[in-house]
């Protein structure tokens, strides 16, 4: 009896383990927010933009450190033979000399045409710009995820339509076979029903392949392994029609204020203005404070090594002034180049603003158009569905030919596809308009 209990317990444990393993192997269902959050953390393009920002942080820190003094240590060991000057005592001697020199040198720039301060300010602006470009990269991947996710949902619903059409056409083949056997239809009607079923099967295969291709694209955006299984969350049915009640001018204003590429282009102007200030600093003198500590040893002195290091210890402190007189017009050329780059940055800003307005204008017009198309497509779908149901009833009663039934089914299929397309375009462009204004994307 105990043996039976143990065997039953073992069997129950194995079943539970198998169920747990089956559950753990089930593919994760990804929502749109899941995809966006994961892509922002893992997408290569976003990571590259983050690394560029990190480099800007290092450059900014390096620029601030240029205010600090430098410090170098030096040591040398020499040997000379014959008539020479002792490097330690500066005596003119004719003998073999072993000498040691030890020293520490430092200098700090006191004034350099204000170039150091301007360089620090420029690197701070570059850091701000790189942060904005990082946000732009994130925005770009968010839009790509949104577009691909909706395309994938569109393909997924297309599979359902294709499956329903195939099921209906297979039933029609069975009815046509019964009617052919009864002699109520010609062989051509039966073969046409078979042809339609084969066409619908082909369309189902194509729909599944289209869905698989969009899943591959989505995986690439998420940097997922191609071997990893993936499912996406189905959208709620009550989100078909999105009413567009937005003022175009308000959208423009919000987009220009929110999108990071606009602010990045404005920052680029400031960066080039600082470059002009740095270039002009080349006309001004450079003043530095220099100092050193040193000592040495020579073999011609009878004192010990330690005593000589103590006796020969010396300190130096001084100012160094460098006045630019003529540097082959290098400073003049740098000033002109910086001025030209400012004008170019201003043109780039105008170009970015035009591109933003173009994107918003396109999204707005497409949103208006898709909303009208969705209303029309919904009415067409309802009419085509009623017409197809009526055609099926007539076909069952023998009052409609197979050709007319096929035509009605194809019309219904086209109406379904048109409705799906208008539905997802309406969602896409509405979400884009929300995103361009800094609002959260959500389905």
Provide the pLDDT for residue 435. Answer: 94
The total of other beta-carbon atoms located within 10 Å of residue 344's CB is 13
User: Are 232 and 132 in a shared domain?
Assistant: yes
User: Are 182 and 317 in a shared domain?
Assistant: no
- Distance from C-alpha of 135 to C-alpha of 138, rounded to nearest angstrom: 5
Instruction: Give the closest residue to 391 by CA, choosing from 383, 320, 367, 379.
Output: 383
User: Are 273 and 400 in a shared domain?
Assistant: yes
Alpha carbon 383 to chain centroid distance? Answer: 44
Q: Under DSSP, is residue 245 helix (H, G, I), strand (E, B) or coil?
A: coil
Would you say residue 47 lies in a domain? Answer: yes
Provide the pLDDT for residue 299. Answer: 85
- Distance from C-alpha of 370 to C-alpha of 376, rounded to nearest angstrom: 10
User: Are 101 and 188 in a shared domain?
Assistant: no
Provide the pLDDT for residue 105. Answer: 96
Provide the pLDDT for residue 7. Answer: 46
**The pair of three-digit structure tokens given for residue 298, joined into one six-digit string:** 């020579």
User: Are 107 and 222 in a shared domain?
Assistant: no
Backbone angles phi, psi at 89, to 5 degrees: -95, -10
- Distance from C-alpha of 139 to C-alpha of 142, rounded to nearest angstrom: 5
Structural domain span for residue 43: 27-68+113-284+324-436
Alpha carbon 99 to chain centroid distance? Answer: 62
Instruction: Give the closest residue to 145 by CA, choosing from 31, 256, 50, 49.
Output: 31
- Distance from C-alpha of 311 to C-alpha of 303, rounded to nearest angstrom: 9
Tell me the per-residue pLDDT of 376-430, one tens digit each, with 9 for 90 and over. 999 999 999 999 999 999 988 888 888 999 999 999 999 999 999 999 999 999 9
Would you say residue 77 lies in a domain? Answer: no
Would you say residue 2 lies in a domain? Answer: no
User: Are 330 and 376 in a shared domain?
Assistant: yes
Provide the pLDDT for residue 302. Answer: 81
Would you say residue 18 lies in a domain? Answer: no
* Cα angle for residues 311, 317, 320 (degrees, 5° grid): 145
- Distance from C-alpha of 334 to C-alpha of 20, rounded to nearest angstrom: 70
Helix axis angle for 402-436 and 115-181, nearest 10°, is 160
User: What CATH number did the domain enclosing 271 receive?
Assistant: 1.20.1600.10
Instruction: Give the closest residue to 31 by CA, choosing from 137, 146, 143.
Output: 146
Residues 56/130, Cβ–Cβ less than 8 Å: yes
Would you say residue 227 lies in a domain? Answer: yes
Would you say residue 13 lies in a domain? Answer: no
Length of the chain: 443
Tell me the per-residue pLDDT of 262-295, one tens digit each, with 9 for 90 and over. 999 999 999 999 999 999 999 999 999 999 999 9
- 231-232/29-30 β-pairing: parallel
**The pair of three-digit structure tokens given for residue 402, joined into one six-digit string:** 């197979």
Would you say residue 6 lies in a domain? Answer: no
Provide the pLDDT for residue 237. Answer: 60
User: Are 197 and 154 in a shared domain?
Assistant: yes
Would you say residue 182 lies in a domain? Answer: yes
User: Are 95 and 226 in a shared domain?
Assistant: no
- Distance from C-alpha of 123 to C-alpha of 117, rounded to nearest angstrom: 10
Q: What residues of the chain score a pLDDT lower than 70?
A: 1-26, 236-246
Provide the pLDDT for residue 85. Answer: 79
Provide the pLDDT for residue 12. Answer: 41
User: Are 359 and 251 in a shared domain?
Assistant: yes
Cα maximum dimension of the chain? 133
User: Are 237 and 269 in a shared domain?
Assistant: yes
Q: Under DSSP, is residue 391 helix (H, G, I), strand (E, B) or coil?
A: helix
User: Are 185 and 305 in a shared domain?
Assistant: no
Provide the pLDDT for residue 398. Answer: 82
Helix axis angle for 32-42 and 187-222, nearest 10°, is 40
Strands (E), 54-112: 70-80, 83-85, 92-94, 97-112
Provide the pLDDT for residue 19. Answer: 46
User: Are 52 and 159 in a shared domain?
Assistant: yes
């Amino acid at each position: 009896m105990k043996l039976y209990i143990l065997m039953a317990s073992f069997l129950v444990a194995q079943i539970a383990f198998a169920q747990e393993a089956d559950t753990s192997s089930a593919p994760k269902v990804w929502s749109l927010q899941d995809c966006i959050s994961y892509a922002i953390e893992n997408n290569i393009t976003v990571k590259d933009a983050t690394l560029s920002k990190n480099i800007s942080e290092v450059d900014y820190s390096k620029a601030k450190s240029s205010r600090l003094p430098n410090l170098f240590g030096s040591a040398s060991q020499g040997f000379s033979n014959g008539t020479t000057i002792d490097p330690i005592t500066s005596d003119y001697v004719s003998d073999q000399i072993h000498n040691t020199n030890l020293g520490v040198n430092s200098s700090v720039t006191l004034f350099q045409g204000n170039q150091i301060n301007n360089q620090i300010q420029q690197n701070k602006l570059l850091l701000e710009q790189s942060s904005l470009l990082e946000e732009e990269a994130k925005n770009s991947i968010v839009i790509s995820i949104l577009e691909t996710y909706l395309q994938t949902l569109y393909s997924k619903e297309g599979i359902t339509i294709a499956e329903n059409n195939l099921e209906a056409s297979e039933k029609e083949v069975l009815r046509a076979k019964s009617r052919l056997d009864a002699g109520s239809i010609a062989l051509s009607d039966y073969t046409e029903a078979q042809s339609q079923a084969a066409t619908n099967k082909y369309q189902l295969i194509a729909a599944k392949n289209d869905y698989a291709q969009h899943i591959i694209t989505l995986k690439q955006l998420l940097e997922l392994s191609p071997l990893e299984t993936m499912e996406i969350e189905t959208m709620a049915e009550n989100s078909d029609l999105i009413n567009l009640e937005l003022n175009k001018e308000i959208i423009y204003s919000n987009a220009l204020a929110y999108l990071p590429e606009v602010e990045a282009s404005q920052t680029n102007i400031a960066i080039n203005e600082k470059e002009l200030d740095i270039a002009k600093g080349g006309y001004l003198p450079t003043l530095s404070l220099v100092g050193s500590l040193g000592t040495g040893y020579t073999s011609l002195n009878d004192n010990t090594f330690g005593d000589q290091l103590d006796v020969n210890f010396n300190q130096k402190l001084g100012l160094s002034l460098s006045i630019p007189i003529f540097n082959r017009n290098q400073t003049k050329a740098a000033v002109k180049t910086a001025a030209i780059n400012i004008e170019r940055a201003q043109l780039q800003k105008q170009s970015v603003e035009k591109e933003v307005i173009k994107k918003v204008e396109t999204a707005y017009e497409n949103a208006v158009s898709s909303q009208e198309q969705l209303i029309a497509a919904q009415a067409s779908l309802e009419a085509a569905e009623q017409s197809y149901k009526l055609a099926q009833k007539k076909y069952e009663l023998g009052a409609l030919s197979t050709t007319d039934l096929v035509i009605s089914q194809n019309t219904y299929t086209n109406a379904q596809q048109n409705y799906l397309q208008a539905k997802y375009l309406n969602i896409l462009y509405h979400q884009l308009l929300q995103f361009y204004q800094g609002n959260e994307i959500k389905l």
